[in-house]
Amino acid sequence: MDGFINVLKPPGMSSHDVIDVVRRIFKQKRVGHAGTLDPAAAGVLPVALGRAARLIEYMEIADKSYRAELSFGCATDTGDVYGTVTESLPAFSFPPEDVVIKTLVDFIGKIAQRPPVHSAIKIGGMRAYDLARRGTEIEVPVRRVEIYGVALLAYNPARHSILFDVDCSKGTYIRSLCMDIGAKLGLPALLRFLLRTRVGEFYLSDAYTLEELAEVCGEALRAPDEVLWHIPRYELAPTRVKAFYSGLSTTDRNVPLNEGLYRVYSGSVFLGIGRYDAAAQEMYPEKAFPPL
């Protein structure tokens, strides 16, 4: 069984825990996922079954969307409610709504962001959270991310919190964004709640809970090539299919192509991913999907 599933990860489970459940439901050993979610977070987790796991690297997962609740007046070492408190204000003046909105808008665009110390970022070959748990003092390097849009959904001074939606690039940490928003407003802040609503073309509205997956099973499966919509299609002549499956390059000098990746087909049959060399005018197979 090869394909992709849009899983709704519940809070309290790691992404790896979800994979273990999917393995049991589908009785499949080869299962992978794209875009790790923190255990406390919920939302969209694209999961690949069988040979589809070989296509994860080609998926269009650069863009993601989240719904987040930010709480002011308290900060922790993890940037969320599960860490050790590092700062707490018994009383403070909650920022006016128009000031909050302006601050959110100020983050739209390309920004420099430092991921949390308790994150999956690798430093010297080790995960930052593993080093932090050992008590090793580390400084996670700043990196460039992009915020495409932010919208305030709820303004709640009584709860000391705001609820907002954010569209962002791959690699953006919403915990860091919450802390940075607080810093710009002169207040400690943390992420109280996080829901991922989109990963590329995987949307929350189409996601299956683990309980639903156990019932519908194969009905939830998307064809392996369905998630590769952003890669242009290339039609291979039937006489060249065997060569493609065998890992041999094929030539078609009558069809002008741009350099790069292509979804390769013979009619309606998906053959795999090819890379076209414009100088040589040849299509080289990168990932072939011969019939089982």
CB-side neighbour CA atoms (13 Å) of 195: 11
CA 254 to chain centroid: 39
Strand pairing partners for 274? 262, 285
Other CB atoms closer than 10 Å to residue 279's CB: what's the count?
A: 6
Backbone angles phi, psi at 127, to 5 degrees: -65, 140
Residue of 17, 20, 38, 165 marked catalytic: 38
CB 188, CB 91: distance < 8 Å: no
Please state, in angstroms and rounded to a whole number, the distance separating the CA atoms of residues 68 and 162.
8
Asked about 38 being catalytic, the answer comes back as yes
Nearest to 180 by CA among 166, 168, 194, 191: 191
Cα 235 versus chain centre, distance = 30
Q: Residue 187 corresponds to which amino acid?
A: L
C-alpha Rg value of the chain to the nearest Å: 23
Q: Mark out the alpha helices in the chain (DSSP H runs).
A: 15-26, 97-106, 128-133, 174-184, 210-216, 241-245
- Number of C-beta neighbours around residue 143 at 10 A: 14
Residues with catalytic function:
38
